[in-house]
Structure 1
Amino acid sequence: MGRWEPNARGRLATAALDLYSERGYEQTTVAEIAKRAGLTERTFFNHYADKREVLFVTAAEFQDRFVGTVSGALTSVAPIDALAAGLDAIADMLAGQRDFARTRQAVIMSNPELQERDLIKLASTSTALADTLRRHGVTEPEASLTAEAGIALFKVGFHRWLAADEERELSVLLREALDALKSVTAGG
C-alpha cells in the first residue's frame, strides 16, 4: 500500500496490533509499524504520540461516552439505572469488535506497562463518573461507590466477553453482572 492511500490511522493501528501479537510489544519499533502499514515514521507520529497510544487511542471516547451517558440519564433515573445506561453505551461502542478486543487485551496483559496504562484509564473514568454523580446531587460515599461499581461491572463483563468460549454479546454480559450486583446488594 502506498502512503497516499486512505485510512493511515487505521492501517497503523492494524499494523501495530499485528506486530505486537507476532513479536511482542517491547520488540516492536515504530519504524516497523510504519513500514508494515506502508507509511513513514513521521506519519505514525502525526497520528500517535508513541507506540503505546495505538492501543489506547479510544480511551477518551470510552470515558466521554460512559460519563456522558450516565450524566444524561441522571436527569430522569436513579444512579444505578444511569450506570446501566452508561454500560449499554459502552457495549454499543464495542459492538462488533470482539476479535480486535481479544487481540488488544492479550497484548496488554503481556506487558506490565500496558496493564498499568489500562488501569489508569479505568481509574480516570471512575473519577469522572464520581464527579458527574456528585454534580447531579449524589452524595458520598454513594457517588464513589457507584462509580467504582460501574468500573467493576465493566471489567467483569468485558473479561467474560473476551473468553474464548463466550458467544453472547457484551451488552448481555454487562446486564448479567449488574443484575448479579443488584441481587447481592438486595440480600438475594
Structure 2
Amino acid sequence: MARWEPNARERLVRAAIDLFAEQGYDATTVTGIAERAGLTKTTFFRHFPDKREVLFAGQELHSRTLGEAVAAAPASATPLQAVAAALDALAATFTDDRRDFAARLLTVIAANDELRERAAFKHDQLAAAIAGALRERGTPGPAAGIAAELGVRAFDAAYARWSDTSVARTLADLAREALDELRSALAALG
C-alpha cells in the first residue's frame, strides 16, 4: 500500500458505495472500505468519523453553497427566486459522471434505516442553511422556513430523477422543474 496517493477521500467514498451495494451496509466494515480503496484504516478516519458519514461527504460544502447563493441573489429576488438561484449553484457542483454514483447511493440509503435517518438530518441541515440565508435577506422566519423546505424537497426530487441515466436533462433543469411543481402544489392549497 502506497504511503500517499491522490484522491483518497473520493476513493474511500467509491469503495464504500461498492461494498455497501455488494454486501450491505451492516456487513461492511471501515477496514474493508479502506482496503478496497487501497488505503489504511487510519487514513479512513482522517477523512470520516465513521462509515455512515462516508456517504454524506460534502454536506458542509453543500450547505455553504446554498447559503452563499441565496445571499448573492439580487436584492429584488423573491425568496423562491433566491432559492432557485441556490439550487442552480448546488446543481452546478454535480457533474454528469456522478449520475451512476447517485443511483447507487440512493439505493444504498433506501435499504437502511440508519442511513435514511442520516439523510433526513442532511435534508434538515440544508434547509436550515437556506432558511438562515433567507432570514439574513429579511425574509420572515415562517416564510424563510417554507421556502427553504420547498427548495430542499425540490433538490431531493431532482436528484432522484437525475440519477436515472436515461434522463437526458441537467440536474439544474430538473431542480427548477421540481421547484415549479412544488410552487404550483402550494398555490393549489389556496
**TM norm structure 2:** 0.89
Q: Which moved more, 1:69-78 or 1:35-44?
A: 69-78
For 1:110 and 1:186, the matched residues in 2 are separated by 34
Q: Which moved more, 1:162-171 or 1:39-48?
A: 162-171
Q: Deviations over 1:112-166 (max 9, x none)?
A: 1011101101111212222221121111421111111111211221222223542
Q: Deviations over 1:78-110 (max 9, x none)?
A: 211111100101110112211111111111111
Compute the displacement of 1:76 (Å): 4.1
**CA 1:11–1:185 in structure 2 vs 1: closer, same or farther (change >3 Å)?**
closer
For 2:102, the equivalent position in structure 1 comes to 101
- Stretches of structure 1 that go unaligned for 5 or more consecutive residues are none
* Bigger relative contact order (CA 8 A; separation at least 6): 2
For 2:62 and 2:125, the matched residues in 1 are separated by 11
Q: Percent identity?
A: 45
User: What pairs with 1:8-19 in structure 2 (closer than 5 Å)?
Assistant: 8-19=8-19
**CA 1:28–1:185 in structure 2 vs 1: closer, same or farther (change >3 Å)?**
closer
For 1:182 and 1:35, the matched residues in 2 are separated by 46
Q: Which moved more, 1:178-187 or 1:41-50?
A: 178-187
**CA 1:70–1:27 in structure 2 vs 1: closer, same or farther (change >3 Å)?**
same
For 1:165 and 1:36, the matched residues in 2 are separated by 29
For 2:85, the equivalent position in structure 1 comes to 85
**CA 1:31–1:160 in structure 2 vs 1: closer, same or farther (change >3 Å)?**
same
Calculate the aligned-residue CA RMSD, in Å: 1.8
Q: Secondary structure at the match of 2:138?
A: coil
User: What pairs with 1:146-157 in structure 2 (closer than 5 Å)?
Assistant: 146-157=147-158
For 2:20, the equivalent position in structure 1 comes to 20
For 1:184 and 1:42, the matched residues in 2 are separated by 49
Structure 1 counterpart of 2:107, one-letter code? A
Q: Secondary structure at the match of 2:93?
A: helix
For 1:65, the equivalent position in structure 2 comes to 65
- Stretches of structure 2 that go unaligned for 5 or more consecutive residues are none
**CA 1:56–1:185 in structure 2 vs 1: closer, same or farther (change >3 Å)?**
closer
For 1:149 and 1:122, the matched residues in 2 are separated by 11
